């Protein structure tokens, strides 16, 4: 049997990979686990991967050119996530290593988090509960209804296409901005970014993280938002200028923000923002539900099985360059 390294930290394995996926993986390969609670990187990752033909990589596992070069037996890196930005794909291709990514399975879970955050921001539920928890009586505050408000969504990918009909069912007017994927649903209107920012009571960031979207939400963007609007980020922290968001909150221009992602380790919100009194923050849990996690972990096991059968799996991003797969006979199952 081939040997597969699963790089998930030991204390994250159960929640971010799961018992069922691990059991299925053990039926098709020898499995080596990360024995520590740390994210493996550099020499430690190289040492752990010795003798392994495949690697199932946790979302935080970083694979640069030097690390990949030090793994001559490695045939494939199977990323247990959609985001593969921490893998140097050109370097992997130059060395003949296959890279795959999982498909999104968290559309429902992230969309539900967004709607819950919007309701919480509008009604002050968490703030009231926190005051009650200290033994004090909170002062009732006037809330807002979602019905009749305008939701502006930046990005019209899979999560957005799941979220928008739900938002419309709540009675929200829905605007989206995406230069590549215009909306086709009757209840959703495509428009430019300036229009989304200016008209929306809630601006939800769901654009992908890349060079073009770095600091997309900067001081100018926040200034274009309606006074008293809410900002919600469930995409990546790279899209937001943290200092600009803090300024918009401190000035009172924004009524609040909800953040499930940020620039802190493991893509979590920074403490400077998460501790702000107008911020509702969570530790990157939007996609942390059992169905969402199992979708990706079981898919990585299926990809691994395909590779071991000599097939290029769905989700491969550099199949044409993966010449090391020709060595698969040395890792064939018995």
Going from N- to C-terminal start, the domains of the chain cover 3-104+290-331, 107-281
Predicted local confidence at residue 333, as pLDDT = 43
Predicted local confidence at residue 99, as pLDDT = 97
* Phi (first) and psi of residue 231, to 5 degrees: -115, 135
Is 273:198 a contact under the CB 8 Å cutoff? no
The CATH architecture to which 3-104+290-331 belongs is: 3-Layer(aba) Sandwich (3.40)
Predicted local confidence at residue 181, as pLDDT = 80
3-104+290-331 shares its CATH topology with 107-281: yes
pLDDT tier, 185 (very low <50, low <70, confident <90, very high otherwise) = confident
CATH superfamily of 107-281: NAD(P)-binding Rossmann-like Domain (3.40.50.720)
pLDDT tier, 329 (very low <50, low <70, confident <90, very high otherwise) = low
First vs last C-alpha separation in the chain = 6
Percent of the chain having pLDDT more than 90? 91
Q: What is the pLDDT of residues 296-320, one digit of tens each?
A: 999 999 999 999 999 999 999 999 9
Residue 172 sits at the vertex; the CA angle it makes with 147 and 212, to the nearest 5 degrees, is: 145
Is 57:85 a contact under the CB 8 Å cutoff? no
């Amino acid at each position: 049997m081939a040997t597969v390294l699963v790089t998930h930290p030991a204390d994250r394995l159960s929640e971010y990979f799961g018992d069922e996926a691990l059991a299925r993986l053990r039926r098709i390969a020898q499995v080596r686990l990360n024995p520590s609670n740390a994210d493996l990187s550099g020499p430690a990752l190289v040492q752990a991967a010795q003798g392994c033909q495949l690697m199932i990589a946790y979302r935080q596992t970083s694979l640069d050119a030097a690390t990949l070069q030090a793994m001559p037996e490695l045939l494939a890196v199977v990323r247990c996530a959609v985001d593969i930005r921490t893998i140097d794909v050109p370097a992997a291709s130059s060395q003949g290593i296959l890279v795959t990514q999982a498909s999104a399975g968290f559309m429902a879970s992230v969309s539900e988090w967004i709607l819950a955050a919007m309701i919480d921001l509008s009604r002050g539920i968490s703030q009231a509960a926190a005051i009650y928890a200290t033994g004090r009586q909170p002062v009732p505050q006037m809330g807002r209804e979602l019905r009749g408000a305008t939701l502006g969504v930046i990005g019209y990918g899979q999560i957005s296409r799941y979220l928008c009909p739900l938002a419309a069912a709540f009675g929200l007017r829905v605007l989206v901005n995406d230069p590549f994927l215009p909306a086709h649903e009757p209840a959703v209107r495509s428009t430019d970014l300036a229009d989304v920012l200016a008209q929306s009571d809630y601006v939800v960031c769901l654009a992908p993280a890349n060079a073009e979207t770095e600091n997309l939400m900067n001081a100018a963007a926040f200034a274009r938002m309606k006074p008293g609007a809410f900002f919600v980020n469930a995409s990546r922290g790279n899209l937001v200028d943290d200092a600009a968001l803090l300024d918009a909150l401190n000035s009172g221009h924004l009524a609040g923000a909800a953040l499930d992602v940020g620039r802190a380790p493991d893509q979590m919100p920074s403490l400077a923002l998460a501790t702000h009194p107008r911020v509702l923050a969570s530790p990157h849990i939007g996609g942390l539900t059992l169905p969402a996690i199992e979708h990706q972990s079981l898919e990585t096991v299926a990809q691994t099985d395909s590779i071991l059968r000599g097939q290029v799996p769905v989700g491969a991003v550099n199949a044409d360059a993966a010449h090391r797969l020709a060595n698969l006979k040395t890792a064939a199952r018995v």
